[in-house]
Amino acid sequence: MLEPWRQGKVIRIQDETPNTRRFWIEITGTERFDFRPGQFVTLDLPISEQKSKRLRSYSIASSPDGTNIIELVIVRLDGGPGTEFLFNQVDTGTELTLRGPLGVFQLPEPLDKDLFLICTGTGIAPFRSMIRHIAAHNLPHRKIYLIFGCRYRKDALYSEEMRRFEETLPRFRYIPVYSREEPGPLRTGYVHSVYEEILEREKPDALFYLCGWKEMIAEAKQRIQALGYDKKTIHQELYG
């Protein structure tokens, strides 16, 4: 059954990086908003008379906690009417129309294979939800690799939180890689070299979750299959 349209009220806004912003939304009319880590909501924004041009979908960055509050992390796109509205006209107290939860980009059950969570930019949102959920419920799992690509260190969303999980969540590794930083102590380049290095060395029984821009996902799918993994082991969520 298709989820109904609901009302939500923005209760908090916080800049996360120079071009991304976190929005906390309280879903009105219900005491709890249940969803599966990895799912998304669709916003109906007042930016066009045509409904198809008003819809914008965003993965939920928070994990289910029994409340009616969710968090979205959104990147500002120059000239994009959706993000221009969200960044320039939305404030605490603003009401938004949304539908959800939606999507099948979800954790496997049980977590009996190594997980490669590969993302760029705000594609980290569903993986943050998944990791927080695994940690909160102490779910048995094998190795989890969060491989996060962005341009500069300043663009690394949730980096401090992911570092803490690396210290407290068993068998979890956080590997950021930066495409425009100078070579040095930081890992530079693109996400592909990171997972290829691990797969070639360890050849694990693994599942792959890809979230980000379509060019990254297309290349990752090709490279992972070239290493001998079946396309059925690859799950994806496209942005743009």
- Domains of the chain: which residue ranges? 5-102, 114-239
Predicted confidence (pLDDT) per residue in 29-74, tens digit? 999 999 999 999 999 999 999 989 999 999 999 999 999 999 999 9
User: In this predicted structure, what is the pLDDT of residue 79?
Assistant: 87
Partners of residue 188 on adjacent β-strands? 178
SS3 162: helix
User: In this predicted structure, what is the pLDDT of residue 239?
Assistant: 74
CATH no. of 114-239? 3.40.50.80
Predicted confidence (pLDDT) per residue in 192-227, tens digit? 999 999 999 999 999 999 999 899 999 999 999 999
User: In this predicted structure, what is the pLDDT of residue 176?
Assistant: 97
pLDDT band at 13 (very low <50, low <70, confident <90, very high): very high
pLDDT of 144 higher than 70:
yes
Cβ atoms within 10 Å, residue 236: 16
User: In this predicted structure, what is the pLDDT of residue 240?
Assistant: 54
CATH fold for domain 5-102: Elongation Factor Tu (Ef-tu); domain 3 (2.40.30)
H/E stretch holding 188 reads none
Q: Which residues of 98-110 are buried (b: 16+ CB within 10 A; e: fewer)?
A: bbbbbbebbbeee
Residue 53: DSSP 8-state: G
Which residues does 123 contact at the CB level (< 8 Å), separation at least 6? 59, 211, 212, 213, 237, 239
